[in-house]
Amino acid sequence: MAVGEECAAAVASQVRHRWLAAAFFSSVDVAIVAGLPRVPTNYRDAPTCGMWGPHVSRCFIATFFNKPLGVLLGFVTDARAYWVTRSLIAWNVNDQDTSLFLYASRDATMHVSDGAIHGYDSKIELEPEHASLPDNVAEKFPFIRSYRTFRVPSSVDVASLVKCQLAVASYDAHGRHQDVTGLQLPGVLDDMFAYTGPLGAVFSDKDVDLYLWAPTAQDVRVCFYDGPAGPLLQTVQLKELNGVWSVTVPRYRENQYYLYEVKVYHPSTSQVEKCLADDPYARGLSANGTRTWLVDINSETLKPASWDELSDEKPNLESFSDISIYELHIRDFSAHDSTVDCNSRGGFRAFTFQDSAGIRHLRKLSAAGLTHVHLLPSFHFASVDDNKSNWKFVDEAQLAKLPPGSDEQQAAIVSIQQEDPYNWGYDPVLWGVPKGSYASNPDGPSRIIEYRQMVQALNRIGLRVVMDVVYNHLDSSGPFGVSSVLDKIVPGYYLRRNVNGQIENSAAMNNTASEHFMVDRLIVDDLLNWAINYKVDGFRFDLMGHIMKSTMIRAKSAIRSLTRDVHGVDGSKIYLYGEGWDFGEVAQNKRGINASQINMSGTGIGSFNDRIRDSVNGGNPFGNPLQQGFSTGLFLEPNGYYQGNEADTRRELATYADHIQIGLAGNLKDYVLRTHTGEAKKGSDIYTFDGSPVGYTSSPVETINYVSAHDNETLFDIVSIKTPIGLSIDEKCRINHLASSMIALSQGIPFFHAGDEILRSKSLDRDSYNSGDWFNKLDFTYETNNWGVGLPPRDKNEENWHLIKPRLENPSFRPLKNHILSVFDNFVDILKIRYSSPLFRLSTASDIEQRVRFHNTGPSMVPGVIVMSIKDAQNEKCKMAQLDKNFSYVVTIFNVCPHEVSIEIHDLASLGLELHPIQVNSSDALVRQSAYEASKGRFTVPRRTTAVFVQPRC
């Protein structure tokens, strides 16, 4: 069926060659496609995800219009061939008699008509190769391993050709045209132009050298401006050598602003474009990154007092196994803190107010043993305007008067959410510069100085700083828009594309390709920038699985090479971890060996352990929110959601216990556990419900154990929606603490979302990335936990509003200050217990395998109870090394049952165990009732309680 003329006109109106579009649409039928994406109203202004934007792409249109995939509107629109080395082009051509020709046009005048290519400058015959792809090429591009290869004549000036519009066309044995497509160039660019020399601005006493890697550019100039918004001062020509453009300018240019003007063929428009772009190696920016600030990052004027001595003040860190992590959004920390100067709230400077409510809270956590604060993205991202004068706010006093289950609060937030100061920031533009919206002034030096002051202030209260880095994707692509940078300079290189040439978007948008040499290099260089210039103590990699394992290994090696004597930092103390999810185009090593959970075993790089998260909480973040888990009442206190009959749920509870015990043992793949079936199995031979191995690490420092993070609901919200609706707030508080304690007392690295220790709520918002200060509020005065502030935003939550609304409206769900303080006190106690003994922080797999045992296992296990013992050398004659000078034995019992449990463990009889002294003095009256009867090895633990027993040394 033909689509109405309005559809064709809508698409045609966006095409720059409108006369071609008119000719095209007048002669071809268009197929109806359900859900045809909306066409942007302004092609140039649309965000450029994919080849045309998030809404529509030329390849998409070509797929559904009655034309060959490779040709639309008179020019080549896809890129199905790969120029993989200087001498080889690969294409998925089946006909063995096919001949191939390479076409090039420097001015991008090529077009296709009457079955022939016109407007080219060069036509080069390619010689078929009888061999398959070379091993090194197949390793780099495994997904095209089966493609046929064609040789480029040695006489061809490849360095000139890559600057052109390019196409390859195939012909049959009779010379008849078969197909035509564009080329993807990263392979040949890496082969010919991989570069390890200086990039960005390099300062000397009298001059500044500017270097830009842009091998496909036809011309590059640098434009200097008078200030962040002032007029153009001068345009200076750069010269090219082997793909690198450079120029030397006088030192007086320092502190001026500049942009590169890059003349380059851009496949997304099929034209040679003049693009204005920031320096990819920028170290300073104007507001919103409209210009690069030419700054010497080592200038003394940018250093806070005693900055160079900060390495001497770093909090002590003996081993990565000593780490514990507190995940915090910079704006959340202080946006509502009246003890912080109003002009500093929500920004870097808030961390320098040493008597603020937030800093007092962090001090308490630090004193209990917490080692690291993980800050959500703090580099230059797109979603928040750096200019504070443009921000819009809701009237929170009016919102507070609305009913707790109303949808009016979210409507007010949504109405301004693109213009308010809030976003998590997972939409990177430039990785190497602090975000201007968090600085007192986005222009000039403030963002640099204040970021350093923040790191310094946190270090001085005993907390190391982790930076959340987002190297897996970029906010924008294409030749237009201030948020596109890398794709303006070397179009098509930095971003991963599919076999048709479209940009992959599985990581959100504009996936980057770390398998390409200069992308890998940019990532490693950027990490070194933050480690050296900002003295950051660790890095958390967003969607690490979308980055190649080789990049992560190289990053680790580069960071470990940093020394205090040479670089002012000790790289051996900088920890790396990330999200090792394996999905999208990189899944199962399709694009090379990626940094997934399984692949990262043995690297010493951590990955988030979703096995323990889902087992403790129940279900997973993408399933029904009512699914219960080990801590939330499965089998023991059902909430009415059907997860099977009694036998099914008991078995599921026991399975979750197995998964949790492997997590408590560092998620080691070789740790042997007696499972609920009675079988002894390695962690790697125990499987999740979707068939993934539970244990996958080779070292405890490779697992990040957690039950909640910024993604998905807070821990309190998880407990509130999964437990029976009539459960009291007192019992919810006990479950909240019990879940946190499983993480805090696990082998590996415990990770906590800010506010889990004070019952933080986001009003059941499952994805608060753009939900404003209102839903993301943190209250370090402990007066409120932010429960019941309205239905969470419709976009991400409406499908569950029918579950959320009655809970928000139920006053029994809202905790009081005494509940918040009680949970916080218990959290501080459990942290202190972790750091009271090195037995909770074993650093090697062999130590865990030798010392850690689980006792309530097998078919006769008591449901809902985990008993973990950790053994130290009993005396000097013992072959086992003595690690703890205070305790020779530790037994931890997690009782998630809604009733007291007495359990006899004969292997633990006749020991001199007693309740941990911290719990003896706990403000929690129930935990103080925990008891041990040595003669029978009998432990009595109250309902929903974590009890720790220790054997003191004589």
Q: Indicate the pairing of strand 217-225 with strand 232-237.
A: antiparallel
In tens, the pLDDT along 601-656 reads 999 999 999 999 999 999 999 999 999 999 999 999 999 999 999 999 999 999 99
Is 398 inside a domain boundary? no
Radius of gyration in angstroms for the set of CA atoms belonging to the chain, rounded to a whole number? 30
Q: Which two tokens stand for residue 278?
A: 């920031």
Judge if 256 and 199 occupy the same domain: yes
Residues 178 and 261 in one domain: no
Structural element, H or E, at residue 609: strand 606-609
Angle ∠(660,664,670) on CA atoms, nearest 5:
95
Instruction: Using the Cα atoms of residue 534, residue 540, residue 546 and residue 551 in order, give the sign of their dihedral.
Output: positive
Q: How many domains does the chain have?
A: 4
Same domain, 842 and 700: yes
Q: Tokens for 444?
A: 């000039």
To the nearest 10°, report the CA torsion of 331, 333, 335, 338.
Answer: -160
Q: How many CA atoms lie within 13 A of 259 on its CB side?
A: 25
State yes or no: pLDDT of 20 exceeds 90: no
> How big is the CA angle at 703 (ends 700 and 707), to the nearest 5 degrees?
130
HSE, side-chain direction, 13 A CA sphere, residue 314 = 22
If you average pLDDT over residues 527-533, what whole number do you get?
99
Structure tokens at 524: 């490693």
**Which of 579, 717, 847, 872 is an active site residue?**
579
Position 72 pLDDT exceeds 70: no
| Same domain, yes or no: 89 and 214 | no
Which string of DSSP letters, residue by residue, matches 265-280? EETTTTEEEEEEE--T
Catalytic, out of 443, 526, 542, 757: 542
Confidence band for 59, pLDDT divided at 50, 70 and 90: very low
Per-residue pLDDT reduced to its tens digit, 379-411: 999 999 999 999 999 999 999 999 999 999 999
The overall average pLDDT reported for the chain is: 93
* Residue 322, helix vs strand vs coil: helix
Domain that holds residue 641: 608-759+815-952
Choose between 174 and 912: higher pLDDT.
Answer: 912
pLDDT value of residue 23: 29
pLDDT (0 to 100) of residue 113: 87
Active site residue 408: no
**Closest-CA residue to 475 (of 537, 424, 404, 517):** 424
Strand pairing category for 257-266 and 292-293:
antiparallel
pLDDT top residue among 77 and 938: 938
Are 693 and 653 members of one domain?
A: yes
Residue in the structure block whose two tokens are 């993480």:
743
Over residues 78-100, the pLDDT tens digits come to 999 999 999 999 999 977 768 99
User: Which of these ranges, 62-66, 75-79, 91-95, 137-141, has the smallest mean pLDDT?
Assistant: 62-66
Domain boundary among 270, 302, 334: 302
Those residues whose C-beta lies under 8 Å from the C-beta of residue 846, and which sit 6 or more positions away, are: none
pLDDT at 542: 99
Model confidence at 75, pLDDT cuts 50, 70, 90, reads: low
CA 517 – CA 193 distance, rounded (Å): 9
Report if residue 15 sits inside a domain: yes
Provide the pLDDT confidence category of residue 413 given band limits of 50, 70 and 90: very high
**What is the pLDDT confidence band of residue 455, given thresholds at 50, 70 and 90?**
very high
The pLDDT value given to residue 62: 33
Longest dimension (CA), the chain: 95
Residues 184, 208 share a domain: no
pLDDT tens string 818-828? 999 999 999 99
C-alpha 610: how far from chain center: 14
The last residue of one of the domains, among 24, 55, 75, is 75
Segment (H or E) for 553: helix 549-560
Give dist(CA 902, CA 932) in Å, integer.
Answer: 9
pLDDT band at 451 (very low <50, low <70, confident <90, very high): very high
Beta strands at 239-241 and 244-250: parallel, antiparallel or unpaired: antiparallel
Collect all residues with Cβ–Cβ distance below 8 Å to 449 and sequence separation of at least 6.
302, 303, 304
570: in domain: no
What percentage of the chain carries pLDDT values higher than 70? 92
Same domain, 41 and 128: no
149 shares a domain with 296: no
Determine the average pLDDT of the residues in 450-462: 99
Please state the rounded mean pLDDT for residues 828-853: 99
525 assigned to active site: no
Pairing of strands 148-151, 122-128: antiparallel
Q: What is the CATH number of the domain that holds 246?
A: 2.60.40.10
Q: Does residue 287 share a domain with residue 213?
A: yes
- Average of pLDDT values for 44-51? 32
Q: Hey, what are 664's tokens?
A: 């408590």
Q: What is the pLDDT of residues 242-251, one digit of tens each?
A: 999 999 999 9
Kindly state whether residues 712 and 749 are assigned to the same domain: yes
β-sheet bridge partners, residue 672: 682
Which two three-digit tokens encode residue 446?
Answer: 């403030």
Is residue 360 assigned to a domain? no
Does 48 map to a domain? yes
Whether 916 is in a domain gets the answer: yes
Q: Could you tell me if residue 269 is inside a domain? A: yes
3-state secondary structure of 592: strand
What is the pLDDT, as a whole number, of residue 875? 77
Rounded CA gap, 163 and 179, in Å?
Answer: 23
Of 268, 302, 336, the residue at which a domain comes to its end is: 302
Examine residue 789 and state whether it is found in any structural domain, yes or no: no
547 burial type by CB count under 10 A (0-12 exposed, 13-18 middle, 19+ buried):
buried
Judge contact between 855 and 674, C-beta under 8 A: no
601-632 CB burial, b ≥16 within 10 A, e <16 = bebbbbbbbbbbbbbbbbbbbeeebbbbbbbb
What's the confidence (pLDDT) of residue 114?
Answer: 82
- pLDDT tens, residue by residue, 706-752: 999 999 999 999 999 999 999 999 999 999 999 999 999 999 999 99
Residues 96 and 44 in one domain: no
734: CATH: 3.20.20.80
CA angle 280, 286, 292 (to 5 degrees): 30
66 and 83 part of one domain: no
In this prediction, residue 70 has a pLDDT band, given cuts at 50, 70 and 90, of very low
Axis crossing angle, helix 715-722 with helix 729-744, rounded to the nearest 10 = 130
pLDDT tens per residue, range 569-592: 999 999 999 999 999 999 999 999
**At 163, which CATH number?**
2.60.40.1130
pLDDT in tens, 359-374: 999 999 999 999 999 9
Give the model confidence (pLDDT) of 660-717 as tens digits: 999 999 999 999 999 999 999 999 999 999 999 999 999 999 999 999 999 999 999 9
**pLDDT at residue 758 above 80?**
yes
What integer is the mean pLDDT of 177-190? 96
